[in-house]
Amino acid sequence: MSYLLGYITADGCVGICKGRKKNPYTFNITSIDKGHLYRLRKIIESTHKISQKNGVNSGAFQLQLRNSSICIDLIRLGIIPRKTARLQPMRVPKKYFADFVRGYFDGDGTVYMYRVNNVWQIKAGFVSASQAFFRAFHTELCKRLGIPEKTVHTKKKRKASDKKQYTSHFYIDDCKKLADFMYGNHTNLYLPRKRRVFEKWNLVKRRSFIKKITPQR
């Protein structure tokens, strides 16, 4: 459930229909990975339909249902309506924090490999539109990974109506620590296409560099 909470923090929402007196709460999870939505649906023991979001050509799917019990629990945990930029720091028990991070990563995280001077590199990162939530999340994550706290960057807006976004990035050894932290409890609940990038990275033969310190003159 901590994984699910992390995923919902990234790609889920709770809505309240004010004109509806009986069962006014709506719960929605969105993903481009339709198969993963079926797995999440099973966790919450739902049989609701998974449909195409915003038309047949949107490329995204959604699981939407009305369940007051789930929605009220989510609101109490911090998943407030219209949470995008208003999300506050969330209290996640330490023993479940890795699962929460993995869920959030599968929703609003990214990882990819690239070459620099023909040498393979790896980069992973997180993004959020809520500064308050993201800074607290990022600080706790770096602390749990045992690494210096990274810089939180503000992503430039493409147009005036866009919300500000906050990002942080991890490279090379820190990516390995992140992967070990997220998948170290031998879970079977994760997004396969993202985990495969970390697994591929582990198989890549990389050059070894010895950092040289040039004396100042």
Which of 83, 113, 129 terminates a domain? The answer is 83
Q: Does residue 108 sit in the same domain as residue 25?
A: no
Q: Which domain holds residue 38?
A: 2-83
173-190 pLDDT per residue, tens = 999 999 999 999 888 999
Tell me the C-alpha distance between 164 and 36, whole Å: 28
By the 8 A CB rule, do 55 and 87 touch?
A: no
CATH of residue 26? 3.10.28.10
| Encoded amino acid at 82, one letter | R
Tell me the C-alpha distance between 203 and 119, whole Å: 14
Q: Does residue 41 sit in the same domain as residue 125?
A: no
Which of 50, 83, 116 terminates a domain? The answer is 83
The tokens describing 83, both together, are 């949470």
Domain count, the chain: 2
Pick from 175, 180, 187: nearest CA to 150: 175
Please indicate, yes or no, whether the overall pTM of this predicted structure exceeds 0.85.
yes
* Residue 6, in any domain of the structure: yes
Q: Does residue 121 sit in the same domain as residue 183?
A: yes
112-166 pLDDT per residue, tens = 999 998 889 999 999 999 999 999 999 999 999 999 999 999 987 677 667 789 9
Residue with the larger pLDDT of the pair 8 and 205 = 8
Which of 53, 83, 113 terminates a domain? The answer is 83
Residue 45 has pLDDT above 90, yes or no: no
* Residue 194, in any domain of the structure: yes
Tell me the C-alpha distance between 9 and 29, whole Å: 10
Residue 212 has pLDDT above 80, yes or no: no
* Residue 58, in any domain of the structure: yes
